[in-house]
Amino acid sequence: MIGETLVEQFDTDLGKQVFEQLEKLLAAGQVVFLFDSMDEMPRADYGARFEVLKRFADQYSSNNKLIFACRKLDYRERFESRKVIIDVFSRGQIKQFLKNMGLPDWKVLYQKLIDRKLGYRELAENPFFLKLIATYWQEKQTLPENQTVLFQEFSQFLLRNFSEIQMSGSPSLWSGVRRSL
């Protein structure tokens, strides 16, 4: 299923290349999976989906990072995972974060993010999404159309860097990708 998703989303040899190396990367403990929106999984087969995710987590979580996220606790406690709650940023914290990123036009971005009419305020209050949005802005000087576009662009960024790392064999590139996260 993961391989199909990679190929489907990126419709290039890159998705297939990453999937073909997935077992090796999992064995080496070099994978971070973010399973977001656990509360949005279809209810009809939730139990079966949960069991597949549980088996995957049991098999690979000791060496890799597996993150299961949702707005509310909507997964079974049998995951036996640590819980982390990301508190929302205040307007002042959003402003400080953007200033600290060193964006030359951070004030323009800040005004767009806090404008409730544009619909980015809730995303900007989340530190993870704020980092993604600010990075997107830094690259494109515009805001993404929506959250899906934001994730697709970020995934493309990670896969491009993965491809460059594989071609060069340079661990310093991987360090740069980690720092950018």
Assign 3-class secondary structure to 21-81: HHHHHHHHCCCEEEECCHHHCCCCCHHHHHHHHHHHHHHHCCCCEEEECCCCCCCCHHHCC
Is residue 155 pLDDT above 50, yes or no? yes
pLDDT category, 54, cuts 50, 70, 90? confident
| 174 in Cβ contact with 181 (< 8 Å) | no
With residue 101 as reference, give the H or E element that holds it.
helix 91-101
pLDDT category, 47, cuts 50, 70, 90? confident
| 177 in Cβ contact with 165 (< 8 Å) | yes
| 2 in Cβ contact with 151 (< 8 Å) | no
Q: What is the pLDDT of residue 109?
A: 96
Is residue 167 pLDDT above 90, yes or no? no
Task: Over range 12-31, report the average pLDDT.
Answer: 79
Between 34-43, 76-85, 152-161, the lowest mean confidence (pLDDT) is in: 76-85
- Considering the entire predicted model, what is its pTM? 0.53
Q: What is the pLDDT of residue 83?
A: 60
Q: What is the pLDDT of residue 11?
A: 58
Is residue 168 pLDDT above 80, yes or no? no
In the structure, how many helices (H) and strands (E) does the chain have? 9, 2
